[in-house]
Amino acid sequence: MSALQIKKGATSHSAYNLRSTFSDVEERHTLAVVVDNEAGVLARVIGLFSGRGYNIESLTVAEIDHTGHLSRITIVTTGTPQVIEQIKAQLGRIVPVHRVNDLTVEGPSVERELALFKVEGTGDKRVEALRLADIFRANVVDSTLTSFVFEITGAPEKIDAFAELMRPLGLLEVARTGVAALSRGGL
Amino acid sequence: MTRQMTGARMVVQALKDQGVDVVFGYPGGAVLPIYDEIFQQNEIQHILVRHEQGAVHAAEGYARATGKPGVVLVTSGPGATNAVTGLTDALMDSIPIIVLTGQVPTFMIGNDAFQEADTVGITRPCTKHNWLVKDTDKLSTVLHEAFHVAMTGRPGPVLVDIPKDVQFASGIYTAPQKGGSRRYQPQIKGDLDAITELVAALETAKRPIFYTGGGVINSGKAASQLLCELVEATGFPVTSTLMGLGAYPASGKSWLGMLGMHGLYEANMAMHGCDLMINIGARFDDRITGRVDAFSPHSTKAHIDIDPSSINKVIRVDIPIVGDVAHVLEDMLKIWKSRGRKTNKEALPKWWAQIEEWRKVDCLKFEQKGSIIKPQHALKRLEELTKGHDRYICTEVGQHQMWAAQYLNFEGPNRWMTSGGLGTMGYGFPASIGVQMAHPDALVINVAGEASWLMNMQEMGTAMQFNLPVKQFILNNERLGMVRQWQELLHGERYSQSWSESLPDFVKLAEAFGAKGILCSDPDDLDDAIMEMINYDGPVIFDCLVAKHENCFPMIPSGKAHNEMLLGDASTKNAIGAKGAVMV
Ligand SMILES: Cc1ncc(C[n+]2csc(CCOP(=O)(O)OP(=O)(O)O)c2C)c(N)n1
Ligand SMILES: [Mg+2]
């Protein structure tokens, strides 16, 4: 094998974007890790990241197969290609880990996140918040005379953008779930 | 086959079914039911250590000297925390051990109960895997799985935490299943395309080198044999890490000696100058590579390793092969033979001629003169007087360890037990006990420094109790020698806390335990004293008073490249630059 390790689906962004494992540029990757749903498995994964100094930008975990006792952990991380490869290999070494998929390089994928925003305001600000929420297709899930709680789903960038807009309109609190992601198409 | 029995009995039954004949341990409240079962049977021998750290190192020594897993049984809380250093040591050196810990009963977990510790939490980062078993019905499956995980793929330590109520309760015992439905099955066979690519590189290489490591030993005796066959057939030079010594015999004609920080000049220069590096079961540890960006700059690098995370972790390689060493070497030999057993016949003699030039530097030379024993001389005499024996060597950590690696010769695998990755002072003595348990009639010697040896000296009691005639060969420089050496090279000769003050009289200490003590300070008495040690039937503490300020060379200072080795005292001034100083 040459230094250029071209993996299946590595050209998802552009036909000319051949990833070199040895580049020094930091990349953002979304990893899907299927694990046995047993005590301590999340601690093993998080301990790996903290113990070896890797970044976690977002992490979600929930059971996905009750009879098979499987959970899916979705991790968004950043690092040079070499570090990303290390992270995947280290995750693969954890005994209860079934498989590790790098959704960023294995072909097109969809990412979604859910967020709740509490916005307080009256008069024009309140009207403007409601108008923007409509544009972003956010739902009102709670309201008082002076506040709203919006629910919004989308790619993390969309939620970031919504947060920026809400800030001057009286944003009080945000709760985000972190990213859930799947590859597009069939198997 | 399934049977009803208590959890405590299951533990003993599972050990028997797994072929365990010895357990190293120390009792306490949370493991009393298991100890009760041990009392009522004779198949498994229990070795009572004097400190739980000793039990783990003894199990490591046993594992390393046999290729079988070592087993440890300790109590909850302090018993478990005392095992942590040994677990970390075994993780770093990929030694298969199974540690069984008692735990407070399940209904008390989380209440800060007496001798409660979060054992699986504490040991999660220092085990390959661990389990807390809360249900007696699941205990036997977990125990068998523990053996499977410890021994499969890259070996390592595992821990099973067993609450006391789970030991008392009855449940269904399941015998181990052959091969079984176990999910944990790492890749064993290497990719044939990659192996073929490596064979093609091997056929044309002008300056090839085999760089072998502990993975060859862990892969089993067949791997060492295949390595020897490959080396003899190709005529390529071979060097090894500290952990891999013995896989290729030191008397073999292609042997360059150990490489790395205190490796031989010819081995490091060959690593630096090669055009094809074939890493077999080693992991480009920082003691090996020195400065990474100057590491072997002109070579194509192949890496055979069972652990995918070892590949491209430190050094970028051109031909990665994930698989078990023995399997990959077998395929490699097959493919190479089928393609006509080619090597570069013109270039190889030139490469060897260059290596011979490097050899002429004679980097291990020293002068034994005057009335003080040089540590190197003591080891040369030890080698000379013991080499015909069925011999196993353990070491502690420090200068003596590096000198042992340099001056003792290993002719086969599993005969060299040392703490490599973690560098654990106090490893060697208990390890020697484990080795002697595995090989009762062999000559087991622990080459020790006086400071390291004191860290687990309580195990004299164990050696005496079980008639284990281990020989403690202490190179006593009355210094934390390796620390002193770094202070000399790096910290302006300010010897902060690196003296061994208030040392015991080692002869009297031996006698206090009922063992034999031998003191030797005169080079003229050395041979006789060593013979006396060898011939004594029982544990011996050999207090060998050696030169106090001897430095260990060659040395690649931290942050330097392989070709920037220090060979002797004259070249050491300002050897380590500011950048290297921050490294360990
Ligand atoms: C448990 C532990 N503590 C500290 C160290 C750091 N250390 C490395 S070598 C050494 C000195 C060892 O002295 P000694 O056993 O007398 O061996 P010598 O170097 O003198 O041969 C020390 C303190 C270590 N490796 N392990
Ligand atoms: Mg010393």
Binding site membership of B290 for ligand 1 (Cβ less than 6 Å): no
> Are the Cβ atoms of A92 and B308 closer than 8 angstroms?
yes
Please indicate, yes or no, whether residues A59 and A98 belong to a single structural domain of this protein.
Answer: yes
Note the pLDDT of residue A14.
38
Residue B578: CB partners within 8 Å, gap ≥ 6?
A: none
> Are the Cβ atoms of B309 and A89 closer than 8 angstroms?
yes
- Quote ipTM for the complex: 0.92
- Average pLDDT of B48-74? 98
Which tens digits make up the pLDDT trace of B462-494?
A: 999 999 999 999 999 999 999 999 999 989 999
Note the pLDDT of residue B484.
97
Residue A64: CB partners within 8 Å, gap ≥ 6?
A: A34, A70, A71, A72
The mean pLDDT value of chain B amounts to 96
Please indicate, yes or no, whether residues A128 and A153 belong to a single structural domain of this protein.
Answer: yes
- Could you give the CA distance from residue B16 to residue B176 in angstroms, rounded to a whole number? 11
E strand segments, B228-269: 238-240, 255-258
Binding site membership of B47 for ligand 1 (Cβ less than 6 Å): no
Q: What is the DSSP string of B301-353?
A: EEEEES-GGGTTSSS--SEEEES-HHHHHHHHHHHHHHTT----TTHHHHHHH
Note the pLDDT of residue B576.
64
Binding site membership of B94 for ligand 1 (Cβ less than 6 Å): no
- Could you give the CA distance from residue B74 to residue B160 in angstroms, rounded to a whole number? 11
Residue A98, domain CATH: 3.30.70.260
pLDDT grade, residue A171 (50/70/90)? very high
Torsion of CA B273, B363, B395, B505, to 10 degrees: -160
More confident residue, A83 or A24: A83
Domain end: A102, A122, A146, which one?
A102
Asked if residue B573 has pLDDT above 90, the reply is no
A3 occurs within a structural domain: no
Counting ligand 1 atoms within 8 A of each CB, the residue from B84, B402, B452, B545 with the most, and so the one to mutate, is: B452
Note the pLDDT of residue B575.
61
Which tens digits make up the pLDDT trace of B399-436?
A: 999 999 999 999 999 999 999 999 999 999 999 999 99
- Average pLDDT of B287-299? 94
A85 occurs within a structural domain: yes
The Cβ of residue A76 has, within 10 Å, a number of other Cβ atoms equal to 22
Please indicate, yes or no, whether residues A35 and A56 belong to a single structural domain of this protein.
Answer: yes
Contacts of B141 in chain A (CB under 8 A): none
Note the pLDDT of residue A2.
36
A89 occurs within a structural domain: yes
Note the pLDDT of residue B537.
98
Domain end: A102, A135, A167, which one?
A102
Decide if B415 contacts B447 (C-beta within 8 A): no
Please indicate, yes or no, whether residues A31 and A82 belong to a single structural domain of this protein.
Answer: yes
Please indicate, yes or no, whether residues A119 and A161 belong to a single structural domain of this protein.
Answer: yes
Place of tokens 């990755």: B421
Decide if B252 contacts B410 (C-beta within 8 A): no
- Average pLDDT of A152-164? 97
B455 catalytic, yes or no? no
Sign of CA dihedral B401, B404, B405, B410: negative
Note the pLDDT of residue A1.
31
Which tens digits make up the pLDDT trace of A113-155?
A: 999 999 999 999 999 999 999 999 999 999 999 999 999 999 9
Smallest CA–CA distance, residue B309 to chain A, in Å, is: 5
Residue of B470, B455, B463 lying closest to B425 (CA atoms): B455
What is the distance in A from the centroid of ligand 1 to the CA of B395? 11
Please indicate, yes or no, whether residues A149 and A96 belong to a single structural domain of this protein.
Answer: no
Please indicate, yes or no, whether residues A115 and A175 belong to a single structural domain of this protein.
Answer: yes
pLDDT grade, residue B216 (50/70/90)? very high
Pairing of strands A180-183, A109-120: antiparallel
Tokens of B276: 């094809």
What is the distance in A from the centroid of ligand 1 to the CA of B495? 14
B114 catalytic, yes or no? yes
> Are the Cβ atoms of A43 and B121 closer than 8 angstroms?
yes
Q: Which of B129, B145, B147, B152 to mutate to test the interface with A (most CBs of A within 10 A)?
A: B129
A60 occurs within a structural domain: yes
Note the pLDDT of residue A12.
37
Counting ligand 1 atoms within 8 A of each CB, the residue from B475, B483, B550 with the most, and so the one to mutate, is: B483
Q: Which of B121, B132, B307 sits opposite A93 (nearest CB)?
A: B307
Total number of domains in chain A? 2
Please indicate, yes or no, whether residues A59 and A122 belong to a single structural domain of this protein.
Answer: no
A7 occurs within a structural domain: no
What is the distance in A from the centroid of ligand 2 to the CA of B424? 14
Note the pLDDT of residue B42.
97
Asked if residue A5 has pLDDT above 50, the reply is no
- Could you give the CA distance from residue B267 to residue B264 in angstroms, rounded to a whole number? 5
B10 catalytic, yes or no? no
Q: Which of A22, A94, A98 sits opposite B316 (nearest CB)?
A: A22
pLDDT grade, residue B62 (50/70/90)? very high
What is the distance in A from the centroid of ligand 2 to the CA of B97? 29
E strand segments, B453-568: 471-476, 516-520, 540-545
Which tens digits make up the pLDDT trace of A85-120?
A: 999 999 999 999 999 999 999 999 999 999 999 999
- Could you give the CA distance from residue B158 to residue B56 in angstroms, rounded to a whole number? 11
Residue A37 is part of which domain span? 27-102
A10 occurs within a structural domain: no
B497 catalytic, yes or no? no
Asked if residue B278 has pLDDT above 60, the reply is yes
A20 occurs within a structural domain: no
Estimate to the nearest angstrom the gap between the alpha carbon of A71 and the chain centroid: 16
> Are the Cβ atoms of A95 and B312 closer than 8 angstroms?
no
Per residue in B71-91, is it b (16+ CB within 10 Å) or e — as a string? bbbbbbbebbbbbbbbbbbbb
Please indicate, yes or no, whether residues A163 and A118 belong to a single structural domain of this protein.
Answer: yes
pLDDT grade, residue A7 (50/70/90)? very low
Residue A128, domain CATH: 3.30.70.1150
Estimate to the nearest angstrom the gap between the alpha carbon of B464 and the chain centroid: 25
Tokens of B213: 């490591």
Asked if residue A17 has pLDDT above 60, the reply is no
- Average pLDDT of B8-35? 98
Note the pLDDT of residue B572.
60
> Are the Cβ atoms of B124 and A47 closer than 8 angstroms?
yes
Binding site membership of B481 for ligand 1 (Cβ less than 6 Å): yes
A123 occurs within a structural domain: yes
**H helix runs in B473-537, sequence order:** 481-490, 506-513, 526-535
Note the pLDDT of residue B571.
60
Binding site membership of B399 for ligand 1 (Cβ less than 6 Å): yes
**What percent of chain B is predicted at pLDDT more than 90?**
94
Binding site membership of B451 for ligand 1 (Cβ less than 6 Å): yes
Instruction: Please pick, among B68, B115, B221, B465, the residue that the annotation labels catalytic.
Output: B115
Using an 8 Å CB-CB cutoff, list residues of chain A that contact chain B.
Answer: 1-3, 21-22, 39-40, 43-44, 47, 51, 82, 85-86, 89-90, 92-96, 98
Size of interface A-B (CB pairs under 8 A): 46
Instruction: Please pick, among B13, B116, B164, B269, the residue that the annotation labels catalytic.
Output: B164
Give A75's strand partners.
A31, A59
Binding site membership of B17 for ligand 1 (Cβ less than 6 Å): no
- Could you give the CA distance from residue B224 to residue B400 in angstroms, rounded to a whole number? 26
- Average pLDDT of B147-173? 98
- Average pLDDT of A51-68? 96
pLDDT grade, residue B393 (50/70/90)? very high
Please indicate, yes or no, whether residues A128 and A147 belong to a single structural domain of this protein.
Answer: yes
Please indicate, yes or no, whether residues A93 and A113 belong to a single structural domain of this protein.
Answer: no
What is the distance in A from the centroid of ligand 1 to the CA of B307? 30
Domain end: A102, A129, A149, which one?
A102
Degrees, nearest 5: CA angle B538-B429-B529: 50
Residue A109: CB partners within 8 Å, gap ≥ 6?
A: A30, A103, A181, A182, A183, A184
Say which range, A9-13, B6-10, B448-452, B562-566, has the weakest mean pLDDT.
Answer: A9-13
Please indicate, yes or no, whether residues A116 and A177 belong to a single structural domain of this protein.
Answer: yes
Decide if B33 contacts B100 (C-beta within 8 A): no
Place of tokens 């190709």: B234
B164 catalytic, yes or no? yes
